[in-house]
Chain A
């Protein structure tokens, strides 16, 4: 009984000590995108091991979840930095402002290509964006009519494609990769259909509704957020295609191959040059109010945007990040380390 009593006292002491700890924090807290996670963690580790600052703690919460935490307010219980695989939305800037988070520094770190890949044991596929749209959309236009997607096999869409069932493993709707894929590949493909392109002019919202809706009849399989799992499933099922970030293709090039989109192969060079059409920018956002309160934030930005990290031959490129062109990176670095806050109007128009 006495032991129990002292245990309770110990817990009470711990609990009371906690808020004091929260008042002084000497460690950067980062939240956000699971796509940026592998890069941010590499920078954090390098930063922690080569400077006198403590290694930042990085949570993988997804872009949306990260921004929500980030916009929660100013104060040490809120994160200092959030990673995002898309630009911050106007609505998020507003919700930030409501909670007093006004000066946000945007740092663009590079690109991520979204690849459509299959197992090495079957042939390489070459697709156009329109074919991707026709294979994966919930509704497709046939003879001027929108009908539920009738295509079962790739060869139904185009006789030049393989005579195999359409089976694409991809991320669920909560994923930033899925958002980017839908926006870049599906929307791009829908625009290539004259009827939908006409629709886009008159009713943008209805067009997006059609272009963004992915079929739910088994042609598209939601395979979870774990890209490694998709890679393994592709190996087990050579007829299936998978959708994931370029770094997973890069690391598993001995087992899977990226499909050509509009005739362009997803390689480091093609994504960097912008020739490969399905790629997006990656960002992180810094809360300016925390600079000077939590030590090391400016140094962390400097490490992230340095040549040895985000440069063409930096360690992030080794991890699969497609770097910005040098001139652009220099400009980003100048603005970011100078803590130039995001211009609200520019962000709203994006």
Chain B
């Protein structure tokens, strides 16, 4: 025995053993370094992505405005003095804007130059004046200073995005326009303000007027429908499969199918939606209701799988104890199993919803890839969604839409962060450890 022990010490104590030990420690350190490196690469990619999106998107949250002394000329807007909303609605509001600009630069003459001067101000100025007057007809005949948005080209120039070293023909802002803008800036009439239009209006073909709110409401309505459909159906399916269903060939088949559906490309669900909801049931195109139904089909497998896992992780002793004191199977599920499984179910649902939020492909088939100016007012009104809005802006020729695209991505990311944060909070709030 003693000899044997001496041998054992020898094996673990000689030079070869120490070498082996060093090698194992080194392997351990390398392994940790690989892990750290992997995290580092992932973090770096994330930081680069966020930084580049933020850098190009931040300018979209500000907008340059010009203070114009607008004269709501009664002769022009309402010659008969009726103050009839219909007359006021049809009036030409471009004229007061042009008159105000002309009074700032009385020396500008000629059709071409006047057009160039008018090009400094956004077309939205005309729409906004119209809305102002329609909301308050008593304005007609008065004068007031109004802040109107500058056009996207002028705004891009002020944000330093236009290369002035190029010949005039190769940029969208002419030398004269630059001189006018600098003059206006010198007179203190140009202000850089927070771009409320971006957060409060629907889409527009003018980059300076385009807003994300229409798409955000569209996404919210779509997700609401998705949640209302996929959560109850998914949880009910999971409860039945996990708690009540017998184990046989049929339930195995259903299980295989659910797992398969979770991996089906989303465009397939879009085609299904087109065939079933639009062509068969005759639901309207571009409606968040249909979008939500399609996305619910897509998220259902995720919700079911997550819910089943959560229900499975509730210890059987809970069920047995409840049954033991006389609870019915329904009471066991509703009063004990579900509350305990809820954090896991919610996490799975929210992750499924976050995926649904980022989908465009299924929405393409049911007509939600569309130009919609009006902010949708219900689940049947035509709407678009956040990722679709990003896609549409990225495809627009005007350079000013580039910063809008990045800003829309920031809004989408904010939505995702809020949803994931909610998932974490809910889990921490309700989680029970065994």
The B-contacting residues of A in range 171-212, CB under 8 angstroms, are none
Select from chain B the residue with minimum beta-carbon distance to A250.
B397
Is A254 within 8 A of B171, CB to CB? Answer: yes
Of B27-35, B339-347, B368-376, the one with at least 4 CB within 8 A of chain A: B368-376
**Taking the nearest CB of chain B, how far is it from the CB of A24, in angstroms?**
11
Q: Mark B356-391, 1 if CB is under 8 A from A, else 0.
A: 000000000001011111100001101000000000
CB <8 Å contact, A77 and B284: yes
Inter-chain contacts of B402 with A (CB < 8 A): 228
Q: Give the size of the chain B interface in residues (CB under 8 angstroms).
A: 51
Set of chain A residues within 8 Å of B286, measured between Cβ atoms:
57, 59
Residue of A nearest to B227 (CB): A7
Chain A: minimal CB distance from B78 (Å): 16
State whether B284 touches A38 (Cβ < 8 A). Answer: no
Dominant secondary structure of chain B at its interface with chain A = loop
- Please indicate the chain B residues that have their CB under 8 angstroms from the CB of A252 in the complex: 397, 399
Alpha-carbon separation in the docked complex, A85 to B278 (Å)? 27
Complex Cα spacing A248 to B394, Å: 12
Q: Which residue of the partner chain A has the closest CB to B391?
A: A226
Q: Would B172 and A18 count as touching, CB distance under 8 A?
A: no
User: Are B373 and A247 neighbours in the complex by a CB distance under 8 Å?
Assistant: no
- Would you give the shortest CB distance from A219 to chain B, in whole angstroms? 25
Q: Are B170 and A59 in contact (CB under 8 A)?
A: no
Query: Which A38-95 residues have a C-beta within 8 angstroms of B?
Result: 38, 40-42, 44-46, 48-50, 52, 54-55, 57-60, 77
Residue of A nearest to B405 (CB): A228
How near does chain B come to A112, taking the closest CB pair, in angstroms? 12
B397 touches A54 (CB 8 A): no
Question: A162: shortest Cβ distance to chain B, in Å?
Answer: 22
Q: CA A228 – CA B404 in complex, angstroms?
A: 14
CB of A57 within 8 A of CB of B372, answer: yes
CB-CB under 8 A from B399, the residues of chain A are 251-252
Of B170, B284, B285, B394, which contacts A226 at CB under 8 A? Answer: B394
**A-contacting 9-mer, from B161-169, B303-311, B412-420:** B161-169
Q: Can you name 20 A-B pairs with beta carbons within 8 Å?
A: A1-B334, A4-B231, A14-B379, A14-B380, A18-B281, A18-B289, A19-B282, A21-B380, A27-B382, A38-B396, A49-B373, A52-B86, A57-B372, A59-B367, A59-B370, A60-B369, A60-B392, A228-B402, A229-B394, A315-B123
Interface range for A: 35 or more
Q: Is the CB of B232 within 8 A of A248?
A: no
Contact yes or no, B397 A228, CB < 8 A:
yes
Contact of B374 among A19, A55, A225, A228 (CB under 8 A): A55
Nearest CB on B from A185, distance (A)? 21
Within 8 Å by CB of A54, from B170, B231, B374, B380, lies B374
Q: A75 — nearest CB in chain B belongs to which residue?
A: B282
Q: Binary interface profile of A, 8-22, with partner B (CB < 8 Å = 1, else 0)? A: 101100110111011
